[in-house]
Amino acid sequence: MKTKNYIILSLICIGLIFSCSKDSSDDNFISQVQSNQTNTTTDTTDTSSTSSSTGTTTTGTTTTQVSSFDRGTILVNYADNIIIPRHNDFKIALNELKNATDNFTDAPSIANYDLLHEKWVESYKKWQYIEMFNIGKAEEIMFYNKVNTYPASTDRINNNIDENKTDLSNPNDWSAQGFPGIDYMIHGIESTKQAIVDKYNNESKYGIYLKTLVNDMSTNTNIVIDDWGTYKASFISSVDNTATSAFNMLTNDFVFYFEKGLRTNKIGIPAGRFSTSPLPDRVEAYYSSKNSFEDISKILALESRKAAEDLFLGRSSSGDLGASYKSYLDYLETDLGATLISKLEAAETALNELEDNFISQINSDNNKMLLAFDALQTIVVNFKTDMLSNFNIAVDYVDADGD
């Protein structure tokens, strides 16, 4: 990058010398550049004021017709109002899950079990808002793989329980931990609540493994959150258009999450879109539905969709809008932002059409699942063609063509 800057500066100098040495009409050019620069400074204060003002949010983002756009403002809004608060929300929920786990394993009872289940649902919902941020430390420690790889591998889990295994860093153990692992531990090792509570009462190895799972998640979450304390500064300043800049990586992560984490994993695979027949046992939170504890697959899918919509609109958990992909698209003068908003709403409608229990939905009327898939698919198409093209996200590590 440095050499790039030097080349630019020297080219500009040459250009200026050239134009100065010629006739006076060129002076206009220079003054024009200067006036543009002053424009820019006022514009940036404009955008920052819209992002900080909370009352006139909707008008603020739709009317940003600025003559320059700073991708940095998007990253600042995303980091300050979405990524970091959402991580903190998750951490709080996870702490409650941890306490509930300790309570339950210390004294397994129906009451303690119910609390544990409730906290698992709460924290699983909060997780949907941060799974997409597979960037920085999270990417480095494989946070997302360790927290939400499903379907859970029951063989692996049973083995680990028997061996009292506490080190789950091996990639083969990804499907033996996290929320899907806990799902099996509290809804799957037996098919009724009482039988499960009894198991924890009779043999300590279940409690030990359950605690390991929750503690690992908690440790990893703290690592990621602590790192954001220092990572944030480099994150918000990394706006250059290179394959490794934070803006580009985040955008790719976001699109990847929508395609893979939401469309494929939550809907596509269980609905059999990638296999000759449906695979209902691949739904998220499978054991909770299967053994009739609570049907949360749909709830999680809806949260996930909302999480994606929030990021696209730059919307914080309190509903405030700020600089976002949407406002950037508006700046680039495409209709794409409006198209995507209505498609994201249509996807919500399609998901709401589904039964709470995805397993029975797939078995009774899989076509509705496929319709939900299509509603998400059409958004993926817009993201991967129109949006990435308009942003001209540099993802290539190789040379492109030139003249």
Residues that bind other proteins in the complex, under the rule CB under 8 A: 4-5, 7-9, 11-12, 14, 33, 36-37, 40, 67-71, 239-241, 245, 264, 268, 272-277, 332, 334-336, 339, 377, 380-382, 384-386, 388-403
| Shortest spacing between CB 381 and other proteins, in angstroms | 5
Residue 238: which region, alpha, beta or left (left: phi > 0; alpha: psi -120 to 50)? beta
- Judged on CB neighbours under 10 Å (0-12, 13-18, 19+), 311 is buried
64-89 as b/e: b if 16+ CB within 10 A: bebeebbbbbbbbbbbebbbbebbeb
Q: Residue 225 or residue 388: which is nearer to other proteins going by CB?
A: 388
Q: Residue 4 or residue 55: which is nearer to other proteins going by CB?
A: 4
| Shortest spacing between CB 129 and other proteins, in angstroms | 25
| Shortest spacing between CB 8 and other proteins, in angstroms | 6
Q: Residue 167 or residue 396: which is nearer to other proteins going by CB?
A: 396
| Shortest spacing between CB 346 and other proteins, in angstroms | 17
| Shortest spacing between CB 350 and other proteins, in angstroms | 18
- Judged on CB neighbours under 10 Å (0-12, 13-18, 19+), 385 is exposed
Q: Residue 98 or residue 384: which is nearer to other proteins going by CB?
A: 384
> Tokens representing 101?
């786990």
Q: Which amino acid is at 65?
A: Q
| Shortest spacing between CB 263 and other proteins, in angstroms | 11
Q: Residue 167 or residue 401: which is nearer to other proteins going by CB?
A: 401
Q: How far is CA 315 from the centre of its chain?
A: 13
Longest CA pairwise span in the chain (Å): 94
Q: Residue 12 or residue 110: which is nearer to other proteins going by CB?
A: 12
Q: Residue 306 or residue 343: which is nearer to other proteins going by CB?
A: 343
> Tokens representing 120?
């698992």
Q: What angle do CA 119, 269, 388 make, to 5 degrees?
A: 95
| Shortest spacing between CB 165 and other proteins, in angstroms | 30
